[in-house]
Each structure stands twice: as structure tokens, then as C-alpha cells.
């Protein structure tokens, strides 16, 4: 029988983004199995091991929080960087006063979960 592992995860904020919400980030009510697997793989990753989530338990009541933040709309593109490196000059900065937008997120805070795994 394979060994079983249990991991307790806690943090001040969490957002497990729903894919149907394109612009505004809205979290699922609990940690997703893929996020739970990623937490465990960040602690112990080997190519021979695939972790399978068996259960996720929420140890504290879920408390929601609305969060508003500023985001930059554009990116510095790689061709601009290459051109600036070759010529020795160029505009690589982004003026955040002209190129920002406000986004809202619905996240939960005071997160405390218990995750059960076993390797396949």
C-alpha cells in the first residue's frame, strides 16, 4: 500500500480563479485540486511521482473579501527589448498614469485547509 500524506495549508489571502470570470478575478469557495497538487509538488517534486488529491477539508469558516487594485494594461514586448539592446537606446518604460486600469477581485482570507494526498 502506498504511503499517505496529509498537509495543512494556511495563509492570509487566497484566490483560486474561476475560468468563466475573464476580467475580474473571483475565487472558488475552496482550494481546487490542481492548486492543492501544486502546493504539494512545490514541497516535494520528482518526475517519478504524481500526486493525487484525495480530500480537501476547510478548517476555518470561509470569509470573503473584496479587493481593488491597479493593473498595467500593456506589456513591454520582446522585439522592443531586442531593438533597444541592439541600438543602445529606446523606450522600454510604461507610463502607468496613462496605461492602467482598476480591477476588482473577490478573494477569501484567513485561509486554513487540510489536504490529503497519496502518490500514484
Q: Is the overall model pTM greater than 0.85, yes or no?
A: no
φ and ψ at residue 42, rounded to 5 degrees: -70, -25
Q: How many CB atoms lie within 10 A of CB 51?
A: 22
Element (H, E) at 39: helix 33-43
**Residue-by-residue pLDDT tens, the chain, 120 positions:** 567 788 888 888 888 888 887 778 888 888 888 888 888 898 888 888 888 888 888 888 888 889 888 888 888 888 888 888 888 877 777 777 888 888 888 888 887 776 665 555
Domains defined along the chain, listed by start = 5-71+103-119 (3.30.70.2660)
Amino acid at each position: 500500500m502506498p504511503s499517505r500524506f496529509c498537509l495543512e495549508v494556511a495563509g492570509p489571502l487566497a484566490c483560486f480563479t474561476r475560468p468563466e470570470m475573464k476580467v475580474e478575478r473571483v475565487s472558488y469557495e475552496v482550494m481546487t485540486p490542481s492548486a492543492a497538487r501544486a502546493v504539494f509538488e512545490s514541497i516535494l517534486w520528482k518526475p517519478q511521482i504524481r500526486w493525487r488529491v484525495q480530500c480537501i477539508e476547510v478548517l476555518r469558516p470561509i470569509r470573503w473579501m473584496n479587493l481593488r487594485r491597479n493593473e498595467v494594461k500593456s506589456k513591454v514586448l520582446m522585439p522592443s527589448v531586442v531593438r533597444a539592446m541592439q541600438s543602445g537606446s529606446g523606450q522600454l518604460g510604461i507610463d502607468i498614469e496613462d496605461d492602467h486600469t482598476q480591477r476588482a477581485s473577490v478573494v477569501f482570507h484567513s485561509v486554513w485547509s487540510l489536504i490529503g494526498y497519496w502518490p500514484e
